[in-house]
A and B are shown apart, each in its own frame.
Chain A
């Protein structure tokens, strides 16, 4: 490997990048758009679920219960119903996600707490709605006058359990999503950019000319990939700034640790891109393959669904993905003030990924056209 040749490729790539408006727009556009989408639109906090009330008791206590539930903002009571069948109707039509049923003998049930005093009917077809409504069961109805000695309403709920949310007390989604988005956005852009950039040389016929020169495929690949490390770090900076100023997501740990973790993770994504480039014959194929690696990562890494809730085989698979390890790193550093040294095993996992990918890619490098 010769440094001058490597440098020539890097320079050429930078000039081409600066001229390629589409790629340039993607570098800035994708992170911004994704961050705003995930931050604002996709709100994983369940609030203001459309709901209905069927109050067959209509006593002071029942009205108090409804008012109490309404003030929690989880449910948004839009309908007052008169008959149980109406719940079914409304729910099928999709106008409500939940309904509160207070039976005529509510007062009697309150006095004899061996039977549930009231009922929450939930649209079980949406998991997140289900989870939110289940929490209603343990809703502490303080004003109804139940001390800890008595069982609260809501049948199986454990009394007196208070859920303390340590790192996200207001249960605001952006706090979890912004650090995760750094990983997701890099997983998307880095792999696509590098795989496409390398395949482009083959597709446009530049490779045929380059093979007849002393430039080695290794020099070409490394030279083409190096600028993307810088681009990845620019994206990280952009997301951190937007996160801080738009969503108020702080970096609690060391900023240096954030960048170091990102650097290792970018390395993993770039080697994945290089590996894909050795498989793909066209830029379109490279893009498809990049998406193929992107989807399972976003689904299984713990970004969308909690890692601990997944079945074992899915967890084993998730361990292979760089995004899984980076999520643990970045959430640890940004939210729990963890040090990189405490999470060295996650860095080690990424290093193993890089080594394996690079080894496979190097074996697959084509020295000739056939």
Chain B
């Protein structure tokens, strides 16, 4: 119970999952603290879903230790399942049941009964604005409505830990914002949340962020920390022939990423003396170019982390 008391809700060490020859998750270390919104950022296939599935006992790890809410997994999976909620990537409630029937079923499955179940059900309908939809079949609802229903279902039994696998991948921006407000409400009430996403704006809102790439943890910390500690520098290049400059810079070894933003280029280098170095390189291509330093954002962190890792594996092979 030590891990539980000192605030760590999830502790994973050396977590590994192999599917045949494929290593989906590779020696992952993770600590998630109580009442935090912990983000999981990574490209598709980086092992986010597999990790979340191992953390809620759906998959058995090939190697490594997991403690969730003070219990070792997968040994105590059945105990842990009573105190966690899991929202799947794909809508996984019943399309042919109404909102009310879906929630009623989940309440019963979680052992809520009678008046207690009814109170909780009404509270969920109210909180997630599903009251008017209670008789509607889940399959006929919009993406945002389905998502609210899925969240209501996942927190029906007031779990201590909520795991969400790309919860906002199928909804519009307004619904995404509302949804994140709902997540922070839950965190404020003491629920710990682990949310995977591939949206930068969502990642930036998390208390802490873990960046995954090819099954490995490549960065871990608060978004501010990660941005402040970005090795190298972020620069903005203003020039006439943006496309040509971009192509030329993309071939440079010290350039981790070049993206066009309107009529300028945003360049991420792994050199501390980036600005002087880049000025020299750019002038060789386009004499009129202007280079200046800009503040790093989370996308830069993401590109730097995943790119550096990608290169190191290429070197290794």
Binding site for B on A (CB under 8 A): 2, 4-5, 7-9, 11-12, 15-16, 19-20, 204-206, 208-215, 367-370
Contact = CB atoms under 8 A, between A and B. Distances in A.
Contact of B109 (A19, A215, A367): A215
A354 B96 CA distance: 31
21 contacts: A4-B113, A9-B109, A11-B108, A12-B101, A16-B96, A19-B96, A204-B92, A206-B93, A206-B94, A208-B90, A209-B92, A209-B93, A211-B58, A212-B58, A212-B86, A213-B81, A214-B81, A214-B109, A369-B58, A369-B59, A370-B19
B11 to A, nearest CB: 19
Given A211-B58, A212-B56, A214-B81, 15 more contacts: A4-B113, A11-B105, A12-B97, A19-B96, A20-B96, A205-B88, A206-B92, A208-B90, A212-B85, A213-B106, A214-B109, A215-B109, A368-B57, A368-B59, A369-B53
Contact of B86 (A7, A19, A209, A214): A209
Contacts, number: 77
A212 B105 contact: no
Interface residues of B, number: 33
Interface string B253-283: 0000000000000000000000000000000
Contacts of A2: 111
Given A212-B56, A214-B111, A368-B74, A16 B105 contact: no
B96 A213 contact: no
B84 interface: yes
B96 A368 contact: no
Interface in B20-60: 53, 56-60
Nearest to B74: A368
Contacts of B81: 212-214
A209 B108 contact: no
Q: Sort A-B residue pairs by CB-CB distance and give the 3 closest, nearest first.
A: A8-B108, A212-B86, A209-B92
A56 B78 CA distance: 89
A323 B93 CA distance: 37
Nearest to B81: A214
A211 B59 CA distance: 10
A252 B81 CA distance: 55
Contacts of A368: 57-60, 74
Contacts of B85: 212
Interface string B94-115: 1111000100011011110100
B119 interface: no
Contacts of A212: 56-58, 81, 84-86
B129 interface: no
A206 B105 CA distance: 12
Interface centre among B74, B81, B108, B109 (most CB of A within 10 A): B109
B108 A7 contact: yes
Contacts of A8: 105, 108-109
Contacts of A215: 109
Contacts of A367: 77
A5 B97 CA distance: 17
Contact of A208 (B92, B94, B106): B92
